[in-house]
Amino acid sequence: MNDRPATKSSAKTSPTGGGLVGAGIIGGAGYTAGELIRILLNHPAIEIVFVNSKSNAGKYIHEVHHDLLGETSIKFSNDVSPEGGDLGGASVLFLCAGHGAAIKFLAGNEIAEHVKIIDLSHDFRLSNSSQLKSRSFVYGLPELNRDKITNANNVANPGCFATAIQLGLLPLAKAGLLKDVYTTGITGSTGAGQGLSDTSHFSWRANNIQPYKTFTHQHLNEVHESLHQLQNTFPDSTNSAESGVRFVPWRGDFTRGIFVSSQMHCDWELQDLNKLYKDYYRDHPFTFISDEQISLKQAVNNNKCFIHLEKEGNKLVVHSAIDNLLKGASGQAVQNMNLMFGLDESSGLKLKAAGF
């Protein structure tokens, strides 16, 4: 952590009048870390104190995240846990390592108790895996757990598909209206991470779609736990004998974004459902109910979720769209950080959609 030349953050002043919040990042080479670095470099209250990547230690960040050329002269570091666990003065630690790597890192490194942790893997999302040593993780969906997040020292950031599905269904669960839910969703290639695989090559993705993990996607358990939290008659896991969310995910021929459609039986009138949704999300700055059809491009490159309801007879369809790397990952992580440090929830997240 010694290679930390001055960055644009050196000219920042905290909007709260206090000092800047020091942030460290573990696993800094992937897509989510790249988006996180971009946001934090432009966040008015944050100073990045180190970005760790064992495989890229000593390289400038812009040698891996090419869009950051000219934005920072920080280099990747390898040293992440000096004696005492103070992490070079970091007050918040973002874990962008792969699934399973976050729990190994925390188990093998001493981290000072005052350092807040936001994990972007699935290691701590479920209630039966939310505890490690003295640390207890809160599920970090602000539209569900804002008060808990505000008082948390450790947050498990939700999955991308889980975020899109839940935001489309939370108001119905709050009203006790959920029964059987049939959901389809399509995601871009960045959802599979930066590592190459047979289904992430351009030659495979271009002009192609494919279903995968039908009814078994790893995000379903967190979806069920959250919906059960609001409606206790709804199954709390995919292992329940009762039906719940039946989800068919698709790989899409685009790079980023998630579009989800959930359908179910509902006797409420459409105007009443729209009011239900608008009332639920009235005080949440990133979720919007549209009276018109929504598109994926509205959500790409920003931290927003757009929702549109359609009704035919007693059949309701809820469409939701997010950016998998922002509201589905790094943007939501920063939103959680803002809440944890008493900052404005939208701070650093005024991002422009790629509308054309």
Active-site residue numbers? 160
Tokens linked to 86 = 């103070």
What is the DSSP annotation of 131-196? EETTEEPEE--HHHHHHHHHT-SEEEPPPHHHHHHHHHHHHHHHTT----EEEEEEE-GGGG-SS-
Q: How far is CA 39 from CA 117, 289, 350, in A?
A: 17, 25, 10
What does the angle CA 145 – CA 146 – CA 147 come to, to the nearest 5 degrees? Answer: 95
Tokens 């040593």 locate to 133
* Contacts of residue 148, Cβ cutoff 8 Å, sequence gap at least 6: 138, 139
- Distance from C-alpha of 4 to C-alpha of 240, rounded to nearest angstrom: 50
Residue showing tokens 């004998």: 241
Residue whose token pair is 């009814």: 215
Residue 111 CB coordination number (10 Å): 21
For residues 167 and 176, what is the distance between their CA atoms, to the nearest angstrom?
A: 15
Element (H, E) at 197: none
Half-sphere exposure of 166 (CA within 13 A, CB side): 28
User: Whole-angstrom Cα distance, residue 3 to residue 33?
Assistant: 18
Identify which of 290, 283, 278 has the alpha carbon closest to the alpha carbon of residue 171.
278
Task: Looking at the chain, list the stretches that DSSP marks H as alpha helix, in order from N- to C-terminal side.
Answer: 31-41, 101-108, 142-150, 160-174, 202-205, 220-230, 270-280, 330-340
